[in-house]
Structure 1
Amino acid sequence: MTALYPLSAVAHQPALRMALSLLAVSPDIGGVLIRGDRGAAKSTAARGLAALLPSRPDGTPAPFVNLPLGATEDRVVGTLDLDAALKGEVRLKPGLIAGADGGVLYIDEVNLLADHLVDVLLDVAAMGVNRVQRDGLSAEHSARLALVGSMNPEEGGLRPQFLDRFGLCVDVQAPTGYGERAEIVRRRMAFEADPAAFTARWQAEEAMLTARLSAARDRLPQVALPDALLDTIAALSAEAGVRSLRADLVLYRAARALAALEGRREVREEDLHRVAPLVLTHRRDPRLPPPPPPPPAPPQEPSTPPTEAPQEASAPPSPQDDPEEVFAPAANPAPLALPAAPTPGAGGGGSAQGRTVRTVPDPQAVTLAVPATLRAALTRTGASGGPMTLTREDFRAPVREEVTGRRVLFVADASGSMGTRERMGAVKGAVLDVLREQGRRDRVALVTFRGAGATLALDFTTDAAAAEAAITAAPTGGRTPLAHALTLAAQVLTGEQGAQLVLFTDGRANVPLTPGGEAWADALGAARGLRGIPTLVVDTETGHVRLNRAAQLAGVMGAEWTALSPAPAG
């Protein structure tokens, strides 16, 4: 048997160890999500937890089941046993959930798992029962398991509704202190050199932790939470901007588990404050409140002549630049329609279809899911006792997961010419409207331009919350370096095949790429370099005298054009 790295030997991750301990005491907390960089002991800690759980009734150790990303719904929840069906019996073939009963079900890169499987697993973790109803089969079995998911946020996020359903969340990262890093490496090298000797050295610590968890599980039913602390729970959730009542329930359960761990039969207020970060961090609404604008930079000393231009600027800022402001997003009467994206796989010989994640009844199916179709036929004819026949009622069609989502680069004019509440608020509102229609695999990026240059405010990410926070906090003010923004957009889109571009601008460029250049000519030249990329130009120009330069840009880029429609003031 392969030796497991002891959980008690995981160094300098106290929040992670506490979260896993709370889950071991009270599985109805609903699972633990571990977010962090590679090499931060996420999977090591999850494996170590299984060794501390009580054995199964048959005496076998608590299982550790690693759910692969390629698993189908049948493999996860269970399906009809074909061997039994051929004998005329309707029986469940257990899946991975059944195998994890009484132990740990671990999902690495849970953010890349199909949405419907995440939903099923979170349901099972919360209820402790797996109910299977498919192919004419209805069955259920116990699924008292500790659900642990891990993810690297750089590879995309989870939808907010799934984040909310994970009871606890821990953000982990490798420590930066020299001594702490050295201690982690020292322990790991000792384990790899002689796993048996290392685990023997930590056996006493593991036994103490096992006994503590066991005693806490026995004590948990007697732990009470004073009624007055329910107000504290409500206050903690409200102050964090959390709308879901699930957070309040998890705070209640986690605080009781912590009190049980510490040998008490009554929850104290300090228990709530200790577990609150684990319960509320991933549920906190990043849009409330919006971050304040950064403080203005200190003025340059006049006695020190500049030796070179600032790295981000191509021209010195003008003393007449407008002061920066941050405008809140505003509602838009007409939502934007993104430019048409190339069909995935078109011209490249690739298939746009992903793997089959489930099947659905479809008498008119063009493509059959053969195993599921046979199971349906066997179930129907097995119940009647006659020979197996196949009818259209048995047809099952595959449902395939999306392979890739959209990639959309937003380029937003944040210069002083946009500096009215209605205009900049409408731009932010339009971008947020598109984001709210974002799929789980869609990736978005944001470039803003103002003052003397353009900035990549947000690189491509699937984290809609991070995108909303970046857009909401974008300041406004300064001149209009349009050519710089289009040049940066071309760099960002390099290698992003099939990406789409949405440009918000009034076209009134006034910062050339090089001193002495012509700003509008530079902007047109940079726009030509983006021709061929599916682009929507959103014209933000207002007023009685209009130059219609955004429409000219759209023509040069071969882009679609639309006018921004701010909501009426007042």
Structure 2
Amino acid sequence: MEKPNKQRRVIYPFAALAGQEDLQLGLLLHAVNPRLGGILIRGEKGTAKSTAVRGLAEILPDMEAVADCPYHCDPRDPGKACGGCGSRKGSVQTRTMPVPVIDIPVSATEDRVVGSLDFEQAIKAGQRAFLPGLMGEANRGIIYVDEINLLDDHIVDVLLDAAASGINVVEREGISVTHPAEFILVGTMNPEEGDLRPQLLDRFALCVDVQGVLDRQTRVEIIKRREAFEMSPGAFIAAWQNEQAALREKVIAARSLLPVVKMPDELYTMASQLCAEAFAAGHRADIMLVRAAVTLAAWRGRREVTGQDVLDIAPLVLAHRRRQPPDESQTPKQQEHEQPEPPEDQSEEQPPDRQDQQPPPPPPEQQQESQQQGDKDDNQDNNSSANPATETVFAVGKPFVIKRISHDKDRQVRRGSGRRSRTKTDSSVGRYVKSTSHRERNDLAIDATIRAAAPFQQSRKANGMALVIETGDIREKVREKRIGNFMLFVVDASGSMGAKQRMIETKGAILSLLQDAYQKRDRVGMVAFKGDRAEVLLPPTNSVELAQKCLVEMPVGGKTPLAAGLTKAQEVVRQQLKRSPHMRPIVIILSDGKANVAMAGDKPLAEAHRVAEAMREELDIKYIVVDTEQKGLLSFGKAQELAVRLGAECYTIEQLKVDSLVDIVRGALA
């Protein structure tokens, strides 16, 4: 048996970690049962997430593998052998090797992760061969993804599929390969940088929320241990050798005990009850809780699961699956009073997702009466608030969790970075989606080039070469990536916005969108108009914190110079497009559509409509009007009219409350 020299990097001992018991337990359970399903570690920077993952590999015993197998197949388990090892006859050479720990960076491409065509073999020998990716290298080991929430969703999905099934199926570039891919998937993330999709989040078996230790004595102990390790790594590792060996022996014993651990029937009911009380979606939570409880019992050296095992592991299983219970605080009568059903004939005529967007127009005589009353209300609102001394700063409404923004791919070639809009890119960074014969960049698509040249090889003179490629065969890669967008909020801060606390609700909706913009790496800006002018409260920036501060401090009061607000928004967008032509702007106007101050002495509303029609001619700019008018028996419809002039969609303030504004943005971005 061949045993090559092993060269390992110096790793902080896993047993020496302090104050992160849940994190250590979650990793050790996956060491006992690699098929558990993966662990997600959420928390602040500097809380030993990476140190714990790398230290786990030192706890695991060295493994025996087939000497020349790229997948480190276990020679004692032919049922999980790759195609090459499964077809061998007789004895094979083996080697002893440490458990592999594979880091997958955020910039990793799909072909590097799952594997691809071996181009060197194809060119030299003219044969199609498979080049294993990182998942093949990590078989029987650990895959560690730092900031997994920033990794492309399709790559995360592939990793989770392989982690759950234990195999990697590759169907691409004319090759079909299935190979073992049993690994412990460990992902870390900072929730402030955005979350995973719920579908992907649910695929992780366990989730640990880590925080900095608050206990003073523990913090001091962490500092002392780290200093001792940095001063003399060898001596520190030797001092913890016994604890490391004890953990290793415990892992080995738990692995052998795991297949015989039983779970009583009554505990299945208990596990399902805990998941139901957490309002976990689907049944994966129940399955994972049972599997984790069995693994925990094996770790504790028992052959039967106890109720305490289920209770102890439930927080790690349900941490990322727990949902808010439905709001049952309102009685049916209150709900009927506050959310009246639309008339039956209207509900039949309107599509289900558009029933609550715009109320039916009132009769003509009622419209005229409403217009007169609206003009009267405008004068009252603005006369009472024209004095700057009457300006009021309203609180920010409670933010809400918004829906994920997903939209159709942008067909234009753009540059930039971000996480919202999928677009074509002319850079060499991005997902390779197809090939093209148009040669504009030096980004050779070798697989497509070989396929284009393959049918003509018999008619071409080889001259000793396995493959002859001519100029017409050359193909380049077409790539896609995600970029951020520029969102400009144009906010009506006139006195009419203070009526019935409308600005509180509006600020809450804007704050929710700002938080989403931070996660998606959008640029944001804010324009407010009141009194006799409009001003840029926040120039285009990536700092959402500045935007939130401006939102909190924004006063309300004065008249409504709608035309000035639209003009200022147009100026800001034009300037931003000159600086960053690749950006895709979207202007969100939050107003009731009323106007009573003009810039050039014309009628205020007519002037605002002319400005809106001019803005409509701007290319590649999307507009959204959010009607902040409180809907009642009378509706003036001025925001809807403004939206028509802009060529924009118009939505009511009620749709902000139910998270619909993000869906509106999604449609506009598409």
Structure 2 vs 1, CA of residues 141 and 500 (structure 1 numbering), >3 Å: closer, same or farther?
same
Report the counterpart of residue 446 of structure 2 in structure 1. Answer: 371
Whether 1:243 and 2:281 are equivalent positions in the alignment is yes
2:223 to 185, 197, 211: 185
Q: 2:187 aligns with which of 120, 140, 149?
A: 149
More moved, 283-292 vs 81-90: 283-292
Q: Any conservation in 1 of the 2:118–2:130 contact (CA below 8 Å)?
A: yes
Whole-angstrom CA distance in 2 between matches of 1:371 and 1:291: 62
Q: Is the 2:288–2:317 contact (alpha carbons within 8 Å) kept by the matching residues of 1?
A: yes
In the TM superposition, 1:103-502 aligns within 5 A as 103-285=141-323, 288=326, 344-345=414-415, 352-353=425-426, 355-360=428-433, 369-376=444-451, 388=467, 397-405=477-485, 407=487, 417=499, 441=520, 500-502=586-588
- Amino acid across the alignment from 2:169: R
Q: Judging by fraction of residues, say which structure has more helix.
A: 2
The amino acid that maps onto 1:74 is D
Q: Distance in 2 between matches of 1:38 and 1:439?
A: 18
Partner AA of 2:482 in structure 1 = E
Native 8 Å contact 1:354 1:401 kept in 2: no
> How far apart, CA to CA, are the structure 1 residues paired with 2:38 and 2:231?
33
* AA at the equivalent of 1:61: P
| Structure 1 residues 155 and 461: CA distance shift in structure 2, 3 A | farther
Change (3 A) 1:379 1:263: farther
1:48 is aligned, of 26, 39, 55, to 55
Are residues 546 and 45 of structure 1, via their aligned partners in 2, closer, same or farther at CA, if it must alter by over 3 Å? same
Paired AA for residue 314 in structure 2: A
Residues 424 and 324 (structure 1 numbering): CA distance in 2 closer, same or farther, change over 3 Å?
A: closer
The 1:545/1:97 distance shift into structure 2, 3 A limit, reads closer
Answer yes or no: is 1:539 the counterpart of 2:627: yes
Alpha carbons of 1:179 and 1:443: their partners in 2 closer, same or farther (altered >3 Å)?
farther
Q: Is the 8 A contact 1:354 1:400 kept in 2?
A: no
Contact 1:445 1:460 in 2 (8 A): yes
Alpha-carbon distance, 1:113 to partner: 1.1
CA distance in 2, matches of 1:358, 1:430: 32
Distance 1:404 1:56, change over 3 A: farther
Establish whether residue 82 from structure 1 lines up as the match of residue 169 from structure 2: no
- Aligned partners of 2:399 and 2:509 also within 8 Å: no
Give me the whole-angstrom Cα distance separating, in 2, the residues matched to 1:198 and 1:364. Answer: 59
Quote the sequence identity (%).
35
CA separation in 2, counterparts of 1:2 and 1:173?
27
Distance 2:294 2:651 in 1: 53
- Aligned in 2, Cα 1:551/1:220: closer, same or farther, shift over 3 Å? same
Decide whether aligned partners of structure 1 residues 214 and 411 sit closer, same or farther in structure 2, where only a CA change above 3 A counts: farther
Alpha-carbon distance change, 562 to 361 in structure 1, aligned in 2, over 3 angstroms: closer
Q: Post-superposition shift, 1:369? A: 4.4
The one-character-per-residue Cα deviations of 1:484-540 (angstroms, maximum 9, x if unpaired) are: 9x99x99xx99998564534443789xxxxxxxxxx9xxx9xxx9xx9997533223
Shift in alpha-carbon separation, 1:327–1:12, aligned structure 2, 3 A: closer
Cα distance change on mapping 1:345 and 1:356 into 2, 3 Å:
closer
207 and 115 in structure 1: CA distance in 2 versus 1, 3 angstrom threshold:
same
Q: Is the 8 A contact 2:193 2:518 kept in 1?
A: no
Match of 1:34 among 31, 41, 59: 41
The counterpart of 2:26, out of the listed 5, 19, 30, is 19
Partners of 2:444 and 2:305 in 1: how far apart? 53
1:67 pairs, out of 101, 104, 118, with 104
- For 1:564, the equivalent position in structure 2 comes to 651
SS at match of 2:320: helix
* Deviation at residue 264 of structure 1 after TM alignment: 0.8
Q: Which amino acid aligns with 2:467?
A: M
Deviation at 1:550, TM superposition (A): 9.2
Which string of whole-angstrom CA distances, capped at 9 and with x for unpartnered residues, describes residues 200-257 of structure 1? 1111111111111111111111111122222222222222121132211111111111
How far apart in 2 are the matches of 1:354 and 1:482?
A: 49
Note if contact 1:101-1:144 (Cα within 8 Å) is conserved in structure 2: yes
| Bigger Rg, structure 1 or 2 | 2
Q: Which secondary structure does the structure 1 equivalent of 2:178 belong to?
A: strand
Q: CA RMSD in A?
A: 5.5
* CA distance 1:106–1:76, shift in 2 (3 Å): same
Taking CA–CA contacts closer than 8 Å with sequence separation of 6 or more, which of the two structures ends up with the larger relative contact order? 1
Question: In the superposition, relative to structure 1, how do residues 198 and 375 fare at CA in structure 2: closer, same or farther (>3 Å)?
Answer: farther
Unmatched runs of 5 consecutive residues or more in structure 2: 1-7, 65-94, 331-387, 417-423, 529-537, 549-554, 596-603, 656-670
Question: Following the alignment from structure 1 to structure 2, what is the Cα–Cα distance between the partners of residues 409 and 379?
Answer: 55
Amino acid at match of 2:192: E
Instruction: From the superposition, tell whether residues 358 and 504 of structure 1 become closer, same or farther in structure 2 (CA, over 3 Å).
Output: closer
Taking a change above 3 Å as real, the CA distance of residues 109 and 255 of structure 1, as seen in their structure-2 partners, is same
Which residues of structure 1 form unaligned runs of 5+? Answer: 293-312, 330-334, 450-455, 463-469, 471-478, 510-519
1:21–1:361 distance in 2 versus 1, CA, 3 Å = same
Given that 1:216 and 1:260 are in contact with CA atoms closer than 8 Å, whether structure 2 keeps it comes out as: yes
SS of aligned partner of 1:124: helix
What's the offset of the Cα at 1:326?
8.9
